[in-house]
Structure 1
Amino acid sequence: MTASDARRPVQLEIAVQDAAGARIAFEAGADRVELCQALAETGGLTPSAGAVEAVLAVAGRAERLAVLVRPRPGGYVYDADEIAVVAADVREVVRRGAGAVVVGALDAAGGIDTEALSRWIDAAAGAEVVFHRAIDTLSAPVDAIDQLVALGIRRVLTSGGATRSIDGLGTVEALVRGSAGRVQIMPGGGVRVEDVPAFVSSGADAVHLSARRSSGDTAPSGPGGGASGFDVTDGAIVAAARAALDEATSGS
């Protein structure tokens, strides 16, 4: 780590699914939360309006809340109806007070769907727009940075194309170099506490993790089926990540 890396602000973002998770995350030292639903089952979908309002009440300030807007699981190529739904959800999430929305779309050729993104950025009406891990499906993600910057994307969430982002560290570093400070690069995807120093050294602007554990609930899930229990935010993991981040950025 260089002297310029030391004391460089790097934010800690925690993916949460409810107000309880947000409260735990902030109390343990998170700078920001990303709200979604069905994280373990789908990788995250658009949360309800009620969840957005409840988490914003916990966050207290718009810039502490980013909201995932993803209409369904699966790939990132969306039809006209889905693009319209995302635009409406983005508009509503921002109206309710979120400081950022997290979106992503690809075209049929596997490139960035600039038309969809432009529409969603317009719907965000000045709120931050984050491009999510759809970037990890691109064959040359670094080449997409100029395009994302031109569109007005403020932050990119990436695993570096790997299942666990620490295994994509080289690509994360390349994205940081390619961004040259024009857009924030935030590694996320299977992040563990011990990975944090490497991401700080990479030049990343933030680190994103879910810090989840099982609720331990074994009650029947109901006549519709599905697994028992659910994930909750683990404050001990958040606190350990905060400590690791503070140590790495202090240069000690």
Structure 2
Amino acid sequence: MNTVAVEIAVQDVAGVRVAIAEGADRVELCSALGLGGLTPSAGLLREAVAQAREADAAGLVHVLVRPRGGGFAYDAGEIATTLADIRFAREAGAAGVVVGALTDAGRVDADAVARFVAAAEGMQVTFHRAIDTLADPAAAAETLAELGVARVLTSGGAPRSIDGVDRLRALAQRFSGALQIMAGGGVAVDDIPALIAAGVDAVHLSARLRVQGDPAGPGGGDDAYDITDPTTVRAAVAAAAASHRD
């Protein structure tokens, strides 16, 4: 396992297999990456866990639990759905969940996150890039650490992680040992050495490659679709292994 973990966002079983074969430490299992990611199906989750078990990679599968696109302030029904999906992920054998909830006032929804952590019952909990919408991410990270969240996925508030590297460095220095900081958001393989030098605990990328599929017809959407590119995953793992934290 790399000192700095490599996490790959995947949205199908083939992506899970690629991540395993190329040496990634974790996958964030999701659907609809084009929307920023939504909760994956039950079948996909179960098959991903089966693939991880077959590869003796018990900590591999971390499940994005996000009930819809369009922001992160959720009503009671959406929180109830999220809690049910977290419990299902635990029962299915996932190693962790990736969640996020904010208040209308633009702060971490501490009550909702506390309930998410409780529902996880020992699974690792990652707070996703909802933190990048907040005016004071350091204060938010303090709250998350107090609530028992294991790590935060962040670009440092920038569209691309490499552009937020100074804030990532500050977060990594402030929360070392208390909360893992995972750089994610537009991460390219060439960015990985600089991100790791900033002191982050992990890097996160989708390694997506657009390929042409069969005709989808007038009701099937785009003919093209995304796959997880093994060459990119392999290069990311190699870059992380060769890089050093300051």
| TM class, shorter-length | over 0.9
**Deviation digits for residues 171-209 of structure 1 (CA, Å, limit 9, x no counterpart):** 111111221220110000110000000111011111100
4+ runs deviating over 6 angstroms? none
> 1:234 — aligned with what?
229
Q: Which sections of structure 1, spanning at least 5 residues, go unmatched?
A: 1-6
Q: Give how far 1:8 is off.
A: 7.8
Match for 1:39: what amino acid? L
* Residue 244 (structure 1) aligned with residue 225 (structure 2): no
Which of 52, 68, 88 aligns to 2:45? It is 52
Deviation at residue 220 of structure 1 after TM alignment:
2.5
Task: Name the residue aligned to 2:66.
Answer: 70
1:114 and 2:110 aligned: yes
How many residue pairs match? The answer is 243
Q: How much is the aligned-residue C-alpha RMSD, in angstroms?
A: 1.6
**TM-score if structure 2 supplies the norm length?**
0.95
- The SS at the match of 1:33 is strand
* Structure 2 unaligned residues grouped into runs of 5+: none
CA offset at residue 78 of structure 1? 0.2
1:223 Cα shift?
3.6
Q: What is the aligned partner in structure 2 of residue 224 from structure 1?
A: 219
Indicate conservation of the 8 Å contact 1:145/1:178, yes or no: no
Secondary structure of residue in 2 paired with 1:222: coil
For residues 215 and 144 of structure 1, what CA distance do their matches in structure 2 show? 38
Post-superposition CA distance 1:137-165 (Å, at most 9, x none): 01110122211111000010001111111
C-alpha separation between the residues in 1 aligned to 2:176 and 2:14?
37
- The 2-side partners of 1:195 and 1:214 are apart by 21
Contact residue 8 and residue 249 of structure 1 kept, 8 A: no
**Equivalent AA in structure 2 for residue 46 of structure 1:** T
Alignment partner of 1:213: what SS?
strand
Q: CA deviation at 1:227?
A: 1.6
User: Does structure 1 residue 95 correspond to structure 2 residue 91?
Assistant: yes
CA distance in 2 between partners of 1:8 and 1:232 (Å): 24
Aligned counterpart, 2:172: 176
TM-score by length of 1: 0.93
The answer to whether residue 76 in structure 2 is matched with residue 80 in structure 1 is yes
Query: Per the alignment, in what secondary structure is the counterpart of residue 8 of structure 2?
Result: strand
Contact map agreement 1:15 1:210 (CA 8 A) in 2:
yes
**RCO comparison, higher one (Cα < 8 Å, 6+):** 1
Q: Is the 8 A contact 1:34 1:65 kept in 2?
A: yes
Q: Is 1:132 matched up with 2:146?
A: no
Which of 32, 38, 44 in structure 1 is aligned with 2:32? 38
